[in-house]
A and B are shown apart, each in its own frame.
Chain A
Amino acid sequence: MKYKILDHTADVMFEVYGKTLNELFKNAATAIFDTMVKRSTIKIKIKKEIELESSNVEQLLFDFIEELIYIKDAEYLIFKDFKIKIKDNKLTAILEGDKINPKKQILLTDVKAITLHKFSLKKSKQGYKAVIIPDL
């Protein structure tokens, strides 16, 4: 399982899983974009590379999600797939998607921010687990 949606009255709460950090970050990005768009309706036409560095890997996850939300609004891009490499609190990601176009894609609910409420990234028996509550 990539992620699970847990009940949360005002917004939505994700429990995200990954055998590796690369996989967890990819699944977290998937959860965020599944909220905003039916990802199967995106045709990959644009590939954007980003690099981020943070003080620790939990902060890196927070910064990564925040960057995705920022790119969505500032560059009008929406993503279907994510190629991620993490090493020593540094992330390199190739984000694959297209310009936002309501005529081409089925758009859902906007994600406006990531919150620190219950936010966590921990090692688990299967690998890694994160809790993310975005602001909708």
Chain B
Amino acid sequence: MAAFDTKEGVISPGGIGFDINCGMRLVTTNLTFKDVKPKLIKLVDTLFRTVPAGVGSRGFVKVDKKQFIEIMESGVKWCVDNNYGWKDDLKKCEGHGVIDWADHSQVSEKAISRGLNQLGTLGSGNHYLEIQLVKASNIFDEKTAKVFGIHTPDQIVVMVHCGSRGFGHQIASDYLKVFDQSMKKYNIQVNDRELSCAPFSSEEGQKYYKAMACAANMAFANRQVILHRIREGFEKIFNKKAEEMEMNLIYDVAHNIAKVEKHKIDGKIKELVVHRKGSTRAFPPNHDELPSSYKKIGQPVIIGGSMETGSYLLVGTEKAMQETFGTTAHGSGRTMSRTQAKKQVRGEQLQKDMQKRGIYVKAVSMPGLAEEAGLAYKDINEVVDSLDKAGISKPVCSFKPIGNIKG
């Protein structure tokens, strides 16, 4: 992460990430492993069909350009207004699932035509939709877990990891070129052109900040319509209403984004543009931005591990506010290249091995699956342990995957 003074500092598309508002979404159910196990294959197969993934996939939400503009300026609100979500979903998203400084006039036609048909798609690479299990022994803070709706041993939750798809990538690409050119004008030099930047207060900087918000809103909306599909899928398989299955959103949090926030530096409150690339906001209890039900416990932080090892739910802390501008990690991170992983693992074999271990995985691409093998990632337990020891977020519980959909 990086934080700059809004008056003197810069904004950098490369420092935010090309997949603008790539993020995590976590949903509860009141189902247990016993309920889900007999229908797991049917459930995963259904979601694999209804939440498209992989190269060139098209989403189920058909919108025209006018509606897409509404989405990029109103995010999750558009989804709820159009019956793709519940009112309560809005409260459980970072910033209510909408960034209000979004301005569609700063977005290129190219970005719009890339994004128009992608609403409701997972994408590929490390993006996934996962059915997970909370074992009693993996609940570290029972009281906080209960506030999040995690209360029963062997309870099932659903996690989604995806972002703004081609739309966000095109916006980042468009502005990377603008900034690469404008650096001469502002006399800025960088070691890596990928980190090209412009003064935050400059015309270029402000235009990008508004366009970035459009991509962030599209990503929030994308994860929201995917949640709608997940609820529909569960309703079909378990023949119960999603409300009855308590399929409530715990939280939706971005891990590639920049926002203007107030932070204390040397005893003084300053306005900063905080870049979080591959890092998660981790605000402490009593922060203004938290939904009322989470005020006492702090902001939920969702950290994804590899598809073989599992993921974590944590909460933000005061120490994160003091030491890391209210920021923590976002995932386990790769330790091995995709090429190397494919040399060591075959997708088909990995799929079989995982099924033996109780994880049913459906993937669009078998080589793509091999690239995401657990051995290519750092140990998530060690990553979370280091966050805990540093005090920048506090583990609540961990999840084991039982069903996975990969692009």
Contacts and interface: CB of A to CB of B under 8 A. Distances in A.
Interface string B172-185: 11001000100000
B260 to A, nearest CB: 25
Contacts of B169: 69, 112-113, 135
Interface stretch (B142-150, B321-329, B333-341): B333-341
A108 B371 CA distance: 10
Interface stretch (A1-9, A20-28, A85-93, A121-129): A1-9
B110 interface: yes
B153 interface: no
B114 interface: yes
Contact of A108 (B170, B335, B337, B367): B367
B339 A108 contact: no
Contact of A70 (B170, B176, B193, B337): B170
A73 B367 CA distance: 21
A109 B118 CA distance: 16
A109 B365 CA distance: 7
B193 A110 contact: no
Contacts of A8: 337
Given A7-B339, A109-B338, A110-B55, A74 B110 contact: yes
A100 interface: yes
B192 interface: yes
Contacts of A69: 166, 169
A102 to B, nearest CB: 7
A126 to B, nearest CB: 24
Contact of A107 (B54, B172, B336): B54
Nearest to B114: A73
Nearest to A37: B55
Identify which of A5, A106, A109 gathers the most chain B CB atoms within 10 Å of its CB: A109
6 contacts: A73-B56, A73-B166, A109-B338, A113-B170, A113-B173, A116-B193
Interface of B: 14, 18-19, 54-56, 58, 110, 113-114, 118, 123-125, 165-166, 169-170, 172-173, 176, 180, 192-194, 196, 334-340, 364-365, 367-368, 371, 407
